[in-house]
Structure 1
Amino acid sequence: MKKQTRSILLCLFMMAGIVIASCQKEATKAEPAPSEIPRQVQDLIKSRGFSTENVRNYNGGYLIEGDIFLDKETLAAETSTPNLRIAEVEQYRTNNLVRNLPRVIKIKVVNLGNAFIQGTDLAISRYNALGLSLTFQRVTSGTANVTIQGFYEGPSGGFITLGYAGFPTSSGNPYNSISMNTHPQAYGSNPNVNYVGSVIQHELGHCIGFRHTDYMNRAYSCGSSGAGNEGAGSIGAVHIPGTPTGPDAGSWMLACSNGGNRTFNTNDKVALNYLY
């Protein structure tokens, strides 16, 4: 998830994802620009149903659409599940979902401040209040299904990435990590718990199989032309019955944050109850 910024530092650079900055040092090599990613890789990303606009090499995989991480194994995997697209903006899920329900997903927060711990607890409480067959529990020791950790990246191009995650595995497990931006311009020097919790809530949505509500045209929440229609894809963009066929104001899975406290709207609850 990302948010718009209005910084006067016009040299800040952001392309709906994360960039590893070189600071102009000759000995440090920057990550390749989007145009430097091989055409066959871009074609593969597009075939999976994602935008190739501003895609970035990152941690042995690719960061796309601002807050979605695809490792190379996931990108290369084939699926026979059909892609179902019905309208421009509605609730969508990926082909892979969390299985073996009912199930408790254990979450651990690692090396992050109190606001991130409290934000995690807030996100967990919001999910658990829905009475789903999928529930969450924060743990401080032992094995966790999802680890929340930090990264540090400043804003650029009028946007800053607040956090990112991935999608469930083919074996039916949630994506195993959420990365949250610890840069002061992401959440400020004294992060608001409701704001942090809302972003964690969003990234958990990716971990259990939700795509952006406005993935077909992120201009709805991001205020830019975005990638438009991204085409059919094998990762999946399966419409969830009972959710709207028009713009869904306030959805917790909109691509860009509104800069404040955003939780489930009525249609979000319909989608979550349908799946879990």
Structure 2
Amino acid sequence: MKKIKLLALCAIVAGFATSCQKDEIANETAPEVSIELSDDHKAGLLAAGITAEASYKTIELLDGSVGKYIVADDVRLPIDLFESGEFRLGTTEDGNKQYRTNNLISSGNRTIDILGFTGSCCALTSNMRTGLQWAVNNYNRINSTLNFRLTFGTNFQAADMVVYNNGASGAGGQAEFPSGGRPGKFIQINAGTGTFGGSNVNNVNEHVIGHEIGHAVGFRHTDYARRRCGGANEGGGGVGAIHIPGTPTVNQWGASGLDSDSLMISCFDGSEDGEFSNFDVVALEFLY
């Protein structure tokens, strides 16, 4: 039986891929428009514990609505909610963090109808569908109050969370944090994920999709300082994500206790098994 883990992802760099990769949306959806962030929004991102490169993007979603977002790695923040302060994160005394947002799913919204999209524009591939099923099974095995009910189809309006193929090149994905007590709804999976990892492709898809679901229920990256994967520190000093009791801490100097097997690590290389680490389970059971 599969063991239980909870990891993270981001872009293809020197042989490593990240679930948080920012590729263009495919032709099936409207093109994204990207301009430089204002100084106020840059300051707001820092207050939210995010210092990774970010930009504005206008994205057409499956429901035909056009949303304006600030996008940083594999996380999309709606600009209106961002400006309201909803995504500002708490602090810790010593800067040690292992990462959740202030935005969690309220007790009345923890039965989550999750849809694997099969419509003509953005259908999940067979490998993506397998990865989604395995990822949902992992979450449902955990002793938590979250209960995922998975279906495949096109009725995304009725779903609490929708996983779909955005047609973008490269392996990885993108998700939203919870908002208003509900999970982040739209999870995009890059088309390249469907074939990444060779014979291990289903586990890679399980990993990427499980990682993005993790963001949608409120998790940040475990390697907050990018100690393992490199790249920009996602937020410095005592500002940013909230440490989850019972899990290792790692500060901006990479000083202590990184759970390198976590599903929420910010990169992947194709060898992943898609399972939660022991500390991922601790974190999930503590929060929910």
**Fold match by TM threshold 0.5:** yes
* SS of 1:255 mapped into structure 2: coil
Q: Distance in 2 between matches of 1:81 and 1:227?
A: 17
* SS of 1:165 mapped into structure 2: strand
Once the 2 structures are TM-superposed, how far is the Cα of residue 261 of structure 1 from its aligned partner?
Answer: 2.0
Q: Which position in structure 2 is the counterpart of 1:61? A: 69
The question of 1:219 aligning with 2:227 is answered yes
Once the 2 structures are TM-superposed, how far is the Cα of residue 250 of structure 1 from its aligned partner?
Answer: 0.6
Once the 2 structures are TM-superposed, how far is the Cα of residue 90 of structure 1 from its aligned partner?
Answer: 4.6
* SS of 2:187 mapped into structure 1: strand
Q: Is the Cα contact below 8 Å between 1:150 and 1:181 reproduced in 2?
A: yes
Q: Distance in 2 between matches of 1:226 and 1:82?
A: 18
- Which stretches in structure 1 are left out of the alignment for 5+ residues? 8-13, 22-28, 155-159
Q: Is the Cα contact below 8 Å between 1:116 and 1:196 reproduced in 2?
A: yes
Aligned runs of 1:184-199 on 2, under 5 Å? 187=196, 192-199=201-208
Q: Distance in 2 between matches of 1:62 and 1:151?
A: 18
Q: Which position in structure 2 is the counterpart of 1:243? A: 247
The question of 1:85 aligning with 2:105 is answered no
Q: Tell me the matched-pair count.
A: 247
Identity of aligned residues (%): 28
Q: Which position in structure 1 is the counterpart of 2:38? A: 38
Once the 2 structures are TM-superposed, how far is the Cα of residue 41 of structure 1 from its aligned partner?
Answer: 2.1
Once the 2 structures are TM-superposed, how far is the Cα of residue 210 of structure 1 from its aligned partner?
Answer: 0.6
TM-score by length of 1: 0.78
CA-atom RMSD, angstroms? 3.0
The amino acid that maps onto 1:91 is Q
The question of 1:175 aligning with 2:181 is answered no
The question of 1:230 aligning with 2:242 is answered no
Which of 78, 84, 89 pairs up with 1:71?
A: 78
TM-score by length of 2: 0.75
The amino acid that maps onto 1:103 is R
- Which stretches in structure 2 are left out of the alignment for 5+ residues? 1-8, 26-30, 60-67, 118-122, 250-256
Once the 2 structures are TM-superposed, how far is the Cα of residue 230 of structure 1 from its aligned partner?
Answer: 3.0
The amino acid that maps onto 2:163 is I
Change over 3 Å in CA distance of 1:145–1:228 after alignment to 2: closer
The amino acid that maps onto 2:175 is A
Q: Distance in 2 between matches of 1:40 and 1:186?
A: 40
Range with greater deviation from structure 2 (247-256 or 89-98): 89-98
Q: Distance in 2 between matches of 1:126 and 1:112?
A: 19
